Amino acid sequence: MNTIPPAAFQTPAKLGLAVLCACMCLSCEEVINVNLNQAAPQLVVEGVVTTQPGPYTVTLTQSGDYFTPSLDFPPVSKAFVLLTDDVGDADTLREDLPGIYRSSRIMQGIPGRTYGLTVVAEGKTYGAASTMPVKVPIDSLFAVQRHATGTDPGYDIYLFFKDPPEPGNYYRVIVRVSDPLIPSDSIDGRRYRLYSDKLTNGNEAGYRVRARHTVVKGDTITVDLLSLDKATYDYYRTLNDILTSDRSPTSLSPANPNTNLSAGALGYFTAYAFDRKTVVLR
């Protein structure tokens, strides 16, 4: 009882190539030197409103040089950051830490409302809007011991939820094992687990969301189901394309993710609905 999301079959060439190369043990990798041009720093915005109580955070940073140490991207301070909704609330966010702005008036995201973000930084104005979808609850979450195929025994974690009757629902699933702060929802920790109702509209569906690590007895599995608007889904989907590109010379040229931010800013602004369930393996 598992359904592979449509996104998974779009690159048969990747999968086939991997199998082909693994069979023939032919391909090899080596680290090389590449000289890259340096782009002018660009504003990076990350803003999130959810059905969890606030305060909500908008983070402003700048892009950096490709090969230089890159954990400390310069924060963008002293910006004007305004969060609004479509019932007349407006909240000027306060900079708590360098580049981190928090809300004080808009403290509870409500499905159906459209939230707006305006950022004025270094003389340029950037904007975005996101409509929070209805919250789709998790119906059930359970673990079954995996069949002993090959050398990877463990548990399969299944998530069930019912898609609403009207088309156009989008989801992201985040799986965490034991530590609820560390997502482990994919093979390499970078991949997004995204679903749309393109093929499953209106249906109750089960998804296998097996965790990255072999899960063992005693582990606590936490699964978040995020209901996204289309723009956020497209952002994550195109971001995921970049992060998991099949690296072949025949794949399409990479480009920056499709963002809902205006004026060339990188990043995204989203309002999503949220549900969480936890299962403990006994």
Partner 1 sequence: MRHTAALPVRIVFCVFLISGFAGLPVPAESQNRYTLNGTVKNGDDGEILIGAYVVVKELKGVGAASNAYGYYSLTIPEGKYTLLIQYLGFRMLADTVLVNRNQTLNFDLKPEAIRVGEVVVSGERSDEHVTSTEMSANKLEMREVRAIPALLGEKDILKAIQLLPGVKSAGEGNTGYYARGGGVDQNLILLDEAPVYNPSHALGFLSVFNADAVKDVKLMTGGIPAEYGGRLSSVLDIRTSDGNMKEYGVSGGIGLIAARLTVQGPIVKDQGSFIVSARRTYADAFLHLSTDTTINRTSLYFYDLNAKANYTLGEKDRVFLSGYFGRDNFNYPDVIGFNWGNATATARWNHIFGDQFFANTSLTFSDYSYANTVGAGTNQYVITSGIRDLNAKMDFQYFIGSHNSLKFGFNAIFHTFYPGAVTSGPSSSTNTISLENMQALENAVYVSHGVELYPALFVEYGLRASTFSLIGPAHLYTYDSYGDIESITQYPSGKLFQTYASLEPRFVATLLVDEDASVKASYNRTAQYLHLLSNSTTTNPSDLWVPSTNNVKPQYADQVALGYFRNFEENAYEASLEVYYKDMQNVIDYRNGADLQLNPVVESLLLYGRGWSYGAELLLRKKTGPLSGWVGYTLSRTQEQFDEINHGQAFSARQDRTHDISLVLVYDASATWTISAIWVYNTGNAVTFPAGNYWIDGRLVPYYTERNAYRMPSYHRLDLSATWRLGERSSLNFSIYNVYNRMNAYAIYFRQMKSDPTKTEAVQITLFPFIPSVTYNFAF
CA 149 – CA 194 distance, rounded (Å): 26
Distances (CA, A) of 270 to 63, 186, 200, 227: 20, 22, 24, 11
Residue 146 three-state SS = coil
Residue 21 or 90: which CB sits closer to partner 1? 21
Is 2 an interacting residue with respect to partner 1 (CB under 8 A)? Answer: yes
Which residues are CB-neighbours of 37 under 8 A, at least 6 positions away? none
Residue 26, both tokens: 């032919």
> Within 13 Å, how many C-alpha atoms sit on residue 13's CB side?
8
Q: Please work out the total of residues on this chain that contact partner 1, with binding judged by CB under 8 A.
A: 85
The least distance separating partner 1 from the CB of residue 175, rounded to whole angstroms, comes to: 14
Q: For residue 67, how many other CB atoms are within 10 A of its CB?
A: 11
Residue 59 or 103: which CB sits closer to partner 1? 59
The least distance separating partner 1 from the CB of residue 143, rounded to whole angstroms, comes to: 19
Is 187 an interacting residue with respect to partner 1 (CB under 8 A)? Answer: no
Stretch that binds partner 1, among 31-39, 49-57, 128-136, 273-281 (CB under 8 A): 31-39
The least distance separating partner 1 from the CB of residue 272, rounded to whole angstroms, comes to: 12
Is 179 an interacting residue with respect to partner 1 (CB under 8 A)? Answer: no
Q: Quick one: which of 50, 220, 238, 262 contacts partner 1 (CB under 8 A)? A: 238
The least distance separating partner 1 from the CB of residue 27, rounded to whole angstroms, comes to: 5
Q: For residue 61, how many other CB atoms are within 10 A of its CB?
A: 21
CA 141 – CA 208 distance, rounded (Å): 10
The least distance separating partner 1 from the CB of residue 42, rounded to whole angstroms, comes to: 7
Nearest to 55 by CA among 81, 25, 88: 81
Nearest to 127 by CA among 173, 157, 83: 83
Q: Quick one: which of 239, 261, 271, 273 contacts partner 1 (CB under 8 A)? A: 239
The least distance separating partner 1 from the CB of residue 268, rounded to whole angstroms, comes to: 8
Is 64 an interacting residue with respect to partner 1 (CB under 8 A)? Answer: yes
Q: Quick one: which of 79, 128, 234, 273 contacts partner 1 (CB under 8 A)? A: 234
Contacts with partner 1, 142-161, as mask; x by CB under 8 A: -------xxx----------
* DSSP 8-state code for residue 74: P
Is 217 an interacting residue with respect to partner 1 (CB under 8 A)? Answer: no
Is 42 an interacting residue with respect to partner 1 (CB under 8 A)? Answer: yes
* DSSP 8-state code for residue 18: H
Per CB under 8 A, contacts with partner 1 among 245-274 are 245, 247-258, 266-268
Residue 36 or 87: which CB sits closer to partner 1? 36
CA 99 – CA 213 distance, rounded (Å): 34
